[in-house]
Amino acid sequence: MTATQAWLERLVAHPTVSSDTNLPLIDEVETALEEAGAVCERFYDSTGQKAALLARLGPDAPGGLMLSGHVDVVPVVGQDWTVPPFSLTRKNGRLFGRGTTDMKGFVASALALAEMIDVKSLAAPFWLAISYDEEIGCVGVRPMLEEIAARDILPDLIVVGEPTSMRLGLGHKGKMAFQVKTTGVPRHSAEAPLALNALHIASDFISGLRKLQDEIEARGPREPGYSVPYATVHVGRLTGGTAVNLVPDNAELLMECRMMAADDPLALAEQVRKAGVAAVAPHKERFREASIDIEITGNYPGHSIDGDHPVVQAFAACLPKGGKECHVSFGTEAGLFAQALDVPVVICGPGNMDQGHRPDEFIEESQLAICDTVLAEAVIRFCASRRPLASHVPKQMHGKM
């Protein structure tokens, strides 16, 4: 078992589902990093039961390399696992366990590398940013990121290690999540035409969203590299009513928008709001109670960076030859880092998201081996040189939302 695989075994053994504490894992990781010579700092959530961890090896100086990864995982309840989800299982060149791909494999590689480094050899800092609650909206990285920005910690490059099969990821979509509540007027279903069905208002709203989706597909910003190269509007849940013979006066739906980096989130939210106004307007004269309430419950920005950026090219030189650039449709913390720090950010990590979030999640041992090689080369390239790579790169070339 390699050092990375040994670390992965230790990380998987911690059931860090977002609803539970991650402190035992953070304790173990922080102890190991401090023994390796790192300076560590925790950033707790409001309950004190979760923490993000920022670690620095090498000098407290500008430039260098930052690796970002989250250690929370999605639940296993209701999934049909054939191996223990929180115990690493090796089988036919694959390592099974919750979080192996998303994304404890990358974190394990980074930790193994940190323990191998001769800190005195580093001319620029090597940073590890380990966060929590990414799976519920990139929550845990934000307090840590605010502090990083306040201290003007500006690495030459940030690598967010979400699974890309070790391909160079140049972007991801952003997301806005909405909770929508509709209010009608109740009555016995025998007199339904005299009432206002809240579910009907919700249905009309959904019809408006489908028209909005058609407009986005026809005229919205596009970016190549995605399976769906434009913004999407999606309703995932609709609830309302208590009995078939009662007209419901309340309904609720949960929806989201997935946006390109070039999209204006505020403009898209306004279009959603207008669809809500249009759904209620025909009923306001007859039913004063008719209403729709639309609340944004979570959001994170999209991200896009030019593959020809010189710092991105410097990292690309560490990757296996012949690999293709990619964009990922799922969300990551890359957009938040780029927005807050205005430094180049890429997405690159071992494994494929096709294996993430599923029963019998696994990662190929070969993917971890490639990751180990790439990260070691990146540390040499970005942290061992005494000439920070980004020192002469114009700020306007850095990746932005």
Are 309 and 170 within 8 A, CB to CB?
Answer: no
DSSP for residue 124: S
Tokens of 329: 């449709």
How many CB atoms are located within 10 Å of the residue 47 CB? 7
* Backbone torsion region of residue 118, taken as left when φ is above 0, otherwise alpha when ψ lies between -120 and 50, otherwise beta: beta
What CA–CA distance (Å, rounded) separates 62 from 390? 10
What CA–CA distance (Å, rounded) separates 264 from 84? 44
Q: Name the one residue in this structure whose structure tokens are 């013979």.
A: 245
3-class DSSP state for residue 42?
A: strand
Task: Fill in the amino acid letter for 168.
Answer: L
270 included as an active-site residue: no
Query: Choosing from 9, 133, 134, 263, which is the catalytic residue?
Result: 134
Q: What string of DSSP letters covers 305-363? A: --TT-HHHHHHHTTSPTTPPPEEESS--SHHHHHHHH-S-EEE--SS-GGGTTSTT-EE
Strands (E), 93-203: 94-96, 126-131, 157-160, 169-172, 174-183, 187-188
User: Within 240-309, where are the H helices?
Assistant: 265-280
Tokens of 335: 């957009």
Query: Choosing from 72, 102, 223, 263, which is the catalytic residue?
Result: 72
Q: What string of DSSP letters covers 60-85? A: S-S--EEEEEE--B---TT---SS-T
289 included as an active-site residue: no
Q: Which residues are catalytic?
A: 72, 134
